[in-house]
Structure 1
Amino acid sequence: MKALLAMPSELPGRMFDAAQLGRLGELAEIDTLRTVTDFSAAPGEVLAEVEVLLTGWGSPRVDAVALARMPRLRAIVHTAGTVRFVVSDAVWERGDIVVTSATEANAVPVAEFTLAHVLLAGKRSLAQESAHRRERGTGSRLGADPALGNCGSVVGLIGASRIGSLVAEHLRRFDVEVLITDPYASAEEITALGATKVEPEELYSRSDVVSLHAPDVPSTQGMVSRELLALMRDGTTFVNTARPALVDVDALREELVSGRLSAVLDVHDDLSADDPLWDVPTVSITPHIAGSQGNELHRMGAAALEEVRRLAAGETPRFPVDGSVRDVSA
């Protein structure tokens, strides 16, 4: 089975450790030192023989022109999450190419990051730290607010996605009530996660923490609206580890600058250098670190290796991407 790394030259060394690269060489006929970043510039004899493409962040798009040069291609193994920037409609239309993704592996650190911030939000840590610094430790907040804490608090999850579902599973260990809103998940499916299915209005109005876990597709852009944010109670926290396009940024900015709400923003592509949010002490702004970083990339590499093993053995892939629902999923 001939395979090819179609990704930036530095990515294989980050995604796979030395042992994993060795294993890849055992599973497939592949030159692990060769990467392709432009299909139009790749040797025709190489593309004509390739059966499996391994792709990742920054990979060239597999469009109709590229496909025409790869008649034997039968699988695209994506080492990252969403495949939309790599896999074109032409791939789905051909109908005989299996596409897999490491989304499940990448969901693990995002869910861990979210869990940590949800629990910290229950303690109102951002507001309390800000006050503590401002008072230089001279004030006492012990037991001052009966709403503080995670015992009996309500956590609202927007989306029963892979990440949202994993967060819900993590929260089973804590004395919190979990609400989920998702038009594509049934009440039974959400109950199985230990949560309750509700409409968006109830989720925003009842939750102490609202965490966003929906995909960035046309139907979800701007879904966190001014009206819904206004339903959140004073002092509650909004967490975004999904995408900034899903949120009415102007409305959120107004709520946060006023001090009415707190937020954890791991995604914030639209923030300019002089955006006032940078100076709001009750807003945590991190540079998109919730997803896989450093050694966590090897988990996604391992997931890709398992897919290659299954393909080589004629087995069903573990995490195939369903092209028929690509318009409503990441």
Structure 2
Amino acid sequence: MRTVFVTGTAGFIGFHLARHLLDEGFAVVGFDGLTDYYDVELKKSRHKMLEKNPNFRAHIGMLEDHAFLSKVVAEAKPDVIVHLAAQAGVRYSLENPRAYIDTNLTGTFNLMEAARETGVDHLLMASTSSVYGGNTQMPFEETQKTELPLTLYAATKKANEGMAHSYSHLWHIPTTMFRFFTVYGPYGRPDLALFKFVRAALADEAIDVYNHGEMARDFTFVDDLVHSIRLLINAVPPMPNSGAEAVAGDSLSPVAPFRTMNIGNGTCVPLMEFISEIEDALGQPIKKNMMEMQKGDVPGTWANTDLLERLTGYRPNTTTKDGIRQFVAWYRDYYQV
């Protein structure tokens, strides 16, 4: 049985990934800080579900605690590490920027040190589509330059990519960085758009619609995302000069066993169309406050997922219609609405 160490298992994506891996017969060691960025009870309920599986065990601690993190990783002896824990949220980075430095930079450094000290077959870490920043050529491809971050959140994730590349080169750690595109689905984060829109609509409150609705996103259903990660665990970047040939459009580094990878649905959905799908799923109209563009936001995102398909044979394909309906069904059941 292979062991995967996953950070952020009480979080939205980490929970779904851990459950997916457990279903496939992996042993999963989780690590989470249970911070109060949003509802801690929701985080605890995710862990409680995972703990029903005897092949899951969780440790509660902060990434910033290097000694404890290193001890836990060393004891787990994982074959693979998937680092998903982070201070998330583009807009929150305007309010509390220091949290992003502490968790996303110091915490990620500590995790990379633990990976170096223990040794793993593959280190996989979350980046974000936000690293594409001010780029306007879409769909975004992994080989595009990402030198124009528009928020501190994006800047810390771009820094994570650079940090990981250096460790991959120096210590020969096969590393894959994921660039996630607007993930949504059941057990989602309360600060994400779909969660906020559904909650407001069911309370007969108005939602804030930025840039007067003139926005679009590549909305990615969480089950598609974690299935992609599962497949990529086996797509280990080869060492330079190994004789392995890169696939077309590969983002492989010429000096390290390192690549970046888009994980998105591969479609660009207008925000107003997304909201209309929510109204259909709820069976009611939603009141709207039309707002100006928020600082640091971008009008659109769109992932080119050709590299993901070439490496894994898989391309995310859940429609927003189906994904939203699954979220609404979960929300009504979980909150008894």
TM-based fold match above 0.5: no
Larger Rg belongs to: 1
TM-score by length of 2: 0.38
Using the size of structure 1 for normalisation, the TM-score is: 0.38
